[in-house]
Structure 1
Amino acid sequence: MDFAFDARTEELRGKLLAFMDEYVYPAEAVAHEQRAQLASPWETPAVVEELKAEARRQGLWNLFLPDSEYGAGLTNLQYAPLAEIMGRSPQLAPTVTNCAAPDTGNMEVLTQFGDEQQRKQWLEPLLAGEIRSAFAMTEPEVASSDATNITTHIERDGDEYVITGRKWYISGAMHPDCKIFIVMGKTDPEGSDIRRQQSMILVPRDTPGVTIERAMQVFGYEDHYHGGHAEVIFDHARVPAANLIGEEGGGFAIAQARLGPGRIHHCMRLIGMAERAIELMCRRAVSRTAFGKTLAQQGVVHNWIADARVTVEQLRLLVLKTAWLMDTVGNKGAHTEIQSIKIATPRAVVDILDRAIQLHGAGGVSQDFPLAELYAGARTLMIADGPDEVHQRSLARRELKRYV
């Protein structure tokens, strides 16, 4: 395993670091101020559109997509250090480079499983950043960590499918530019194979019968850059049969293909969040005095900073190994490592952010520093894309299987 950056990665990394310093970090406060002046909290601040244009001009666009026909054509190993850099400003940087979830996963689904018409109608404007999208799987009435539980119905009626169900925490759905949902539901709820009951279908947001019921908060945050999270009702919403993605019964497999890259992308960005927290800790420690000494002279602060550095280096190596395996033996071959990073990374980064918040005192929980919002995002990732306990269960069963 060789994790040295190749020439292309070094070039993009240098450009991205400069872009972050010159444009993204200064824009964080500007975007916050502009948003406060908007008529709707879901509108996009002008500075975000300016940054998107600059990112495109510099070639820092669609870096996540390994298919060179549609994206940058980078491997997971090449993308890892770039996603980490973007993770230092996770609300802004992924958005302005068109590397933000849930659009990334939806573009991957359309690239791999969409037909020519679906790619032309929906993938192309997503790639261009002209529209946003949402992925509708999670439901409030069932434990959606087990995707076989979902109850939304997708029923064939002649040349159409009829979608009926209730979803929540549908990321991206509140954004005014969200034009399309990828909806997971059951086309064969009584089928003998519980992993062949589900299908995925494209549902335009303006389809009659689709209602955005309310915005969902995450630890009190509305997560504007994500496009928010919504509770959505599908009440006999009709779409053409041609909107089915792939084949009937293929939804579970598509979901698994979508979630693998999504999980590692989250972990890549989490490492960037941890690096931002360490930087803020160190700056705070050398600039604040308590009981006659700077915080940097307090022994407990030494421990926090040292432990954070060791943890980040360990996590980065595990994430890079996972990326390398995904590139060399595929997502299935890297299953153990994907689950390992999904368990280890959010948990460890939450702890680092917690220490950083503590070091900042009241400022740590305020809007004057990014730490509280970073904490909320990292803590949420212990649930999103499968809660820790589901991954632990699967990982343990795989380990035990060798001894049974």
Structure 2
Amino acid sequence: MEARLAPAMSALFACLLASHAFGAVVLPKYNVSVNEVSVSGLSSGAYMAAQMHVAYSKTIRKGAGIVAGGPVYCSQGNLLVATGPCMADTGSRNLPYLASVISIWSSNGYIDSTSNLASSRVYLFSGTLDSTVRQAVMNDLKTMYGNYIPAANISYKNNVAAEHAMPTDYFGNACSVKDTPYINNCNFDTAGAILTWLYGALVAKNVGTLGGTFINFDQSAFWGNFNPTTHGMASTGYAYVPAACTAGQACKLHVALHGCKQNVATVGTAFYQHAGYNRWADTNKIVVLYPQATTTLANPNGCWDWWGYDDVNFPAKSGGQMVAIKTMIDRITSGNSAAPFTCNHWYDSNYWHVYFGRAYIGSDGQVYAVNSNQYLGFYSVAAYTDVRRTSSGYYAYGSCP
């Protein structure tokens, strides 16, 4: 009897989850090449953007814009390190150690090879008044990127008297203020500077009424229809889509990640409508994706996972939030649509994943998912991992849109 009830209960659970995203659409596919993908973020979104750029360097080829962030894996999975050395600059970030870890990850497939970064570009912004993520922290990110990217491809703006916020040239608090919605009018167009640095010369931005549309899409689809709110992500996300992209013209994709206390549930439309990206996107055929984090007991400020509050694999290709956003990119890009999905799930030890052919043991003795080559955990065959099967292979914390 219990075995017969299980499928019915699972179906009911899925329906209940879907109700949380009532009115949200399925994230569409657009005519976007994987060669035209970039990412940026503020604060926790900055840390998330940098770790996505490094982990998925084969996909995020154009590069990254980082506003008030720090070195990849700076937290080392420790909240006290995250808030101390990685934000307040109370102690060393030990760059040689972080570089050695990234080198190991690059060689064993935990992240994409860092050699892919050589052709990408990075734009860094740090306000001189930033009292949350000190400039010394951002300086170390610049140094870290210098290990992988030519100096000519790195731009660092660090002379604006800005507090901890997204600087714009038209919206928000005074530049010296640190307060909700953490968008400041600094007479400096950070979004424009990021997009221009990453994509080259752009058509002048639209300063009038936008001609595209905002969509509210279902994020639960990217957690295999499980509830993303238990993993620090909201049920729905947003995107701005220029009319030309809706019409099927060739477009670019930029992923913009909000900071802590800056999701829609906290600040409403402020970030996804007024961070400055959409004005440039409208005239330059750029789809702007705005994934949404949410609060949890371990994450009361609605930050992105850059210290491991949800997942020990947070900085890797197999990290839960990382995979969710990466799969959103795959859905949008013209050459990487992964649908349809078979949506089978197995939560099992990695030993049994290998036994049943869902994973394999690499030359380094670690366990990787078949086809996606995602690393399945720090503890090799003894780890327990949620592996999900799609039409294109097996994924750790994968999605079933």
TM-score range, shorter chain: under 0.3
Higher relative contact order (CA 8 A, sep 6+): 2
TM-score, length-scaled by structure 2: 0.26
Q: When you count strand as a share of all residues, which structure comes out higher? A: 2
TM-score, length-scaled by structure 1: 0.26
- Which has the greater radius of gyration? 1
